[in-house]
Amino acid sequence: MRSLNELPAGAKAIVASIDGDTRYLSRITSIGITPGCSIKVIKNDSKRPMLVFLRDTMIALNNNECKNIKVEVRGN
Amino acid sequence: MTDGKKTIALLGQPNSGKSTLFNALTGLKQHVGNWPGKTVEKKQGSFMRNGEEFIVTDLPGTYSLSANSDEEIVTRDYISSGAADVVCIMADSSQLERSLFMLSDYAGINVPCFLVLNLADVAKDQGKTIDVSGIRNKLKIPVVLMDATATKKYDDFFVCLEEAFNSKAKLDTSLLENRLESIDGYKELKAVIPDNLIPGCSPVWMAVKSIEGDKVVRAKIENSLKGESKTAYVDIISKFDRGALLTGECKFSFIDDLLKDSVTKTETNIKQTKLDRAITHKFWGKTVVVLLVIGGLLLSFIPAVPLMMLGSVFTAIAVPVRSALESANASPIITGIICDVIFQSLANTVKMLGFAFGITLVFGMFEESGIMARISYVFDNTMSKMGLQGKSVMPFLVSFGCTIGGATSSRVIDNWGQKVLTIALAWAVPCGAAWAIIPMLATNFFGWRAVLVIVAILLVMLVHIWITAKVFGGRLVKKEDRYGIIMELPPYHKPKWGALFRYVLGRTKDMFFRVIKVIIPVCLVFWILSYSAGSIEDSILYKVGTAIEPVTKLFGLNWQLFMAFVASSIGKEGAVGVLTALYSQSGTIYGAVNGTNAAVANSTQLLLSNISGPEALAFMFAITFNVPCVVALAATYQETHSAKWTGIITAYYTVGALIISCIVYHIGLLIM
Ligand SMILES: Nc1nc2c(ncn2[C@@H]2O[C@H](COP(=O)(O)OP(=O)(O)O)[C@@H](O)[C@H]2O)c(=O)[nH]1
């Protein structure tokens, strides 16, 4: 298992678990990120939010907070 | 219900097309205010259908119905208050799975509702087919597939709406419950929760929120329970750790069950267009954004200029009106109030509205098309250091041109506190009027060293912004509200100019009254203070200015400079004119501010021989960091909806400018 923010652009993964307080969990699930959903990293530039694609949507996520999202990397 | 009128509330995640539907339904019949006791914008409107009036409430665009922000609390409370007869839940058909989350979060609320699957055209272009009747059978509420931008084709929507009013159908939760039952403890939890504890909210909904750790719901339930059931409740909920993940998974499984057999999905691919790659580029992104904003600012003059010219009409009319009044021997006070205050205020207001119209249109287009979300992404890191969203960079950039535009363009910031903070900080950015006079003044006084003055001003600007962010940041953007970005980047849409145009025009009319309410009184007060029957010495401003000169001298401002400083809060362009009028003893202060005085020969010489170097330096800083102008103040009031904060910011800048002036003056004395 790795943290989402360690993945390079182009990587695909499945969300395994998410840490954080109630508020963060509620925000992250309501935008569509839940355990089991597949995710693709579009951009991961330092000092920028991450860009990920999931459930037909492009989403920007605070890079630091992506440490909370643990993923299982998936081959192509 | 409101006075027996039928009321609809629009609920949906951002980008589900809520505003589009709201504007299409209500047209110009809308009213923007605040939710009582909250700093969240409340939009209501109305429309007539078959002789009946319908009220539409546009609920804040939130991602869920939890209680983590004022927006969410407002939304929740409004729905459970029963103020709406029917809730219209909106989802984006092109990302149905994700955007139905709001529906799944609504499940368990007993207020009648219907579902709008919007952006049908986009889903169709993606090759998705959606079977409405399948979804409708599972949910047991009316469902309509529509394109909210096709305003001529709303028939299906209205059929659905009427059906919802007639049948008062409530969302069937059995499909969701099937999933929830897999959560350990859910059933027991639901069993101990009493019915009707929060009006409109069923035990199913309350159980879900309890699992998610919703403090408000938990407290309500705990307080209502006694004895054994209370212990049971507390016992069960204490076992849930990260409950939002459990319910989140259930909700999305429920959505899967709902869409299974009803949506044929072809995998959508992510297309990053050229523009997208340029904007989100690691090195060039910021440059591209700055160029886009500058381009937008220039573009906004195209629709603005004709309207701004309309403003000059009032200035022109004032001339014959004045001669007519004078030849009729009207009292100079009446003439002054009519021509100087009323006509001049009208002229300024119309000019401002013209400019605001252009800005709102162009930056509204940025918002609509999806560019704004990219700007937020690119500047997120920089702006979040001040507790702001990435979008806040835009009002700053626009403020280099004009603070009025800066304040107006802050409309796209969806959090009130962040909006007010952005405007408060953007005031520190020297505007076009400052750039028009400061380099000229500095060159006259200091020759080539003017460059140093400009650099110093820019440095002071940065420090000012930093300090101001510290001063107001804590109160406007609470610590717990400062979290990282979690935001959708919607695909690019072609903006619908027609709808946008009508909407902005409607808003502009609204603005006229708000703005004129601020400008006329301020101008009137300033006019009274500067009024003199004969020479300038008769005016109140002169008397006060000379009386307190010993104090203002500490700031490096003699009475003439101080009066020009005061005048510069009405408009900076006039500051030099005021000085000229005072030193040459010709014209009036009010005339100088509005540029209607006769020109004075050798004004530069006049200033050089009367003002010392340190004084000139202090003055330049004082007017640069003073209140931008009365119209910017009005625009700030218009956008923040808060007289209190407009007042606080104004007072802060007036005092701040004097402090800066004082520091600069004493440094000036040391080095010159
Ligand atoms: N093609 C298409 N675009 C739409 C539709 N509804 C809304 N939009 C566009 O989607 C974007 C977001 O809509 P908006 O009403 O601002 O969403 P809100 O955030 O829910 O208020 C805008 O660019 C709209 O023009 C639709 O049915 N079809």
Rounded Cα distance between B517 and B643, Å, is 11
By C-alpha distance, which of B280, B310, B294, B433 is closest to B362? B294
State the distance from the centre of ligand 1 to the C-alpha of B20, rounded, in angstroms: 6
The answer to whether the CB of B148 is under 6 A from ligand 1 is yes
Q: Residue B386 corresponds to which amino acid?
A: M
Angle B199-B101-A16 from CA coordinates, rounded to 5°: 125
By C-alpha distance, which of A1, A9, A6 is closest to A40? A9
By C-alpha distance, which of B522, B629, B539, B619 is closest to B579? B619
> What's the confidence (pLDDT) of residue B247?
94
- Averaged pLDDT, B526-552: 85
Q: Residue B262 corresponds to which amino acid?
A: S
> What's the confidence (pLDDT) of residue B445?
93
Structure tokens at B228: 């054994």
**B483 touching A (Cβ < 8 Å):** yes
Rounded Cα distance between B492 and B365, Å, is 11
> What's the confidence (pLDDT) of residue B600?
67
User: B1 pLDDT exceeds 50?
Assistant: no
Return mean pLDDT, chain B: 88
Q: Residue B249 corresponds to which amino acid?
A: E
Task: Confirm if B443 and B414 have CB atoms less than 8 A apart.
Answer: no
Domain ranges of chain B: 6-174, 176-265, 515-671
Angle A64-A69-A75 from CA coordinates, rounded to 5°: 115
> What's the confidence (pLDDT) of residue B532?
78
Instruction: Compute the nearest-CA separation of B108 from chain A (Å).
Output: 17
What angle, 0 to 180 degrees and rounded to 10, lies between the N-to-C axes of helices B344-369 and B371-384?
100
Rounded Cα distance between B63 and B244, Å, is 14
Residue nearest to atom 7 of ligand 1 (CA): B17
Q: In this predicted model, what pLDDT tens digit does every residue of B435-488 receive, in sequence order?
A: 888 998 999 999 999 999 999 999 999 999 999 999 999 888 887 677 788 888
User: B210 pLDDT exceeds 90?
Assistant: yes
Out of A45-49, B428-432, B660-664, which region has the weakest mean confidence (pLDDT)?
A45-49
Residue nearest to atom 13 of ligand 1 (CA): B17
Across B39-43, B69-73, B420-424, B582-586, the highest mean pLDDT is recorded for: B420-424
Higher-scoring residue by pLDDT: B34, B261:
B261
> What's the confidence (pLDDT) of residue B267?
65
The ipTM of this complex is 0.93
Q: State which of B10, B19, B20 you would mutate to test the pocket of ligand 1, scoring each by most atoms of that ligand within 8 A of its C-beta.
A: B20
- Residue B57 dihedral angles phi and psi, to the nearest 5°: -110, 125
> What's the confidence (pLDDT) of residue B3?
61
Instruction: Compute the nearest-CA separation of A75 from chain B (Å).
Output: 18
By C-alpha distance, which of B613, B630, B589, B629 is closest to B665? B613
| Closest residue in chain B to residue A48, using alpha carbons only | B381
CATH topology of domain B176-265: Helix Hairpins (1.10.287)
Instruction: Compute the nearest-CA separation of B333 from chain A (Å).
Output: 60
Q: How confident is the model at residue A30 (pLDDT cuts 50, 70, 90)?
A: very high
Higher-scoring residue by pLDDT: B584, A35:
A35
Q: How confident is the model at residue B167 (pLDDT cuts 50, 70, 90)?
A: very high
By C-alpha distance, which of B376, B61, B277, B367 is closest to A60? B376
How distant is the alpha carbon of residue B277 from its chain centre? 28
Residues of B in contact with A34 (CB under 8 A): 245, 248-249, 252
Q: How confident is the model at residue B268 (pLDDT cuts 50, 70, 90)?
A: low
Task: Confirm if B150 and B138 have CB atoms less than 8 A apart.
Answer: no
Q: How confident is the model at residue A76 (pLDDT cuts 50, 70, 90)?
A: low
**B219 touching A (Cβ < 8 Å):** no
**SS3 (DSSP) at B242:** coil
State the distance from the centre of ligand 1 to the C-alpha of B110, rounded, in angstroms: 28
- Averaged pLDDT, B85-109: 94
Structure tokens at B203: 């035990």
CATH topology of domain B6-174: Rossmann fold (3.40.50)
Q: How confident is the model at residue A32 (pLDDT cuts 50, 70, 90)?
A: very high
By C-alpha distance, which of B371, B341, B194 is closest to B273? B371
Q: State which of B41, B488, B493 you would mutate to test the pocket of ligand 1, scoring each by most atoms of that ligand within 8 A of its C-beta.
A: B493
Other beta carbons within 10 angstroms of residue A45's beta carbon come to: 15
User: B168 pLDDT exceeds 90?
Assistant: yes
- Report how many domains make up chain A: 1
- Averaged pLDDT, B605-618: 91
Q: In this predicted model, what pLDDT tens digit does every residue of B383-417 receive, in sequence order?
A: 888 888 888 998 998 898 889 889 988 888 878 88
Check if B6-174 and B176-265 are the same fold: no
CB–CB of A31 and B63 under 8 A? yes
Give the CATH number of the domain where residue A9 resides.
Answer: 2.30.30.90
DSSP 8-state secondary structure symbol assigned to residue B535:
S
- Residue B555 dihedral angles phi and psi, to the nearest 5°: -85, 0
User: B271 pLDDT exceeds 70?
Assistant: no
By C-alpha distance, which of B118, B179, B137 is closest to B493? B118
Higher-scoring residue by pLDDT: B497, B257:
B257
Task: Confirm if B55 and B161 have CB atoms less than 8 A apart.
Answer: no
Q: In this predicted model, what pLDDT tens digit does every residue of B332-378 receive, in sequence order?
A: 888 888 888 888 888 888 888 888 888 888 888 888 888 888 888 99
State the distance from the centre of ligand 1 to the C-alpha of B496, rounded, in angstroms: 9
Task: Confirm if B621 and B630 have CB atoms less than 8 A apart.
Answer: no
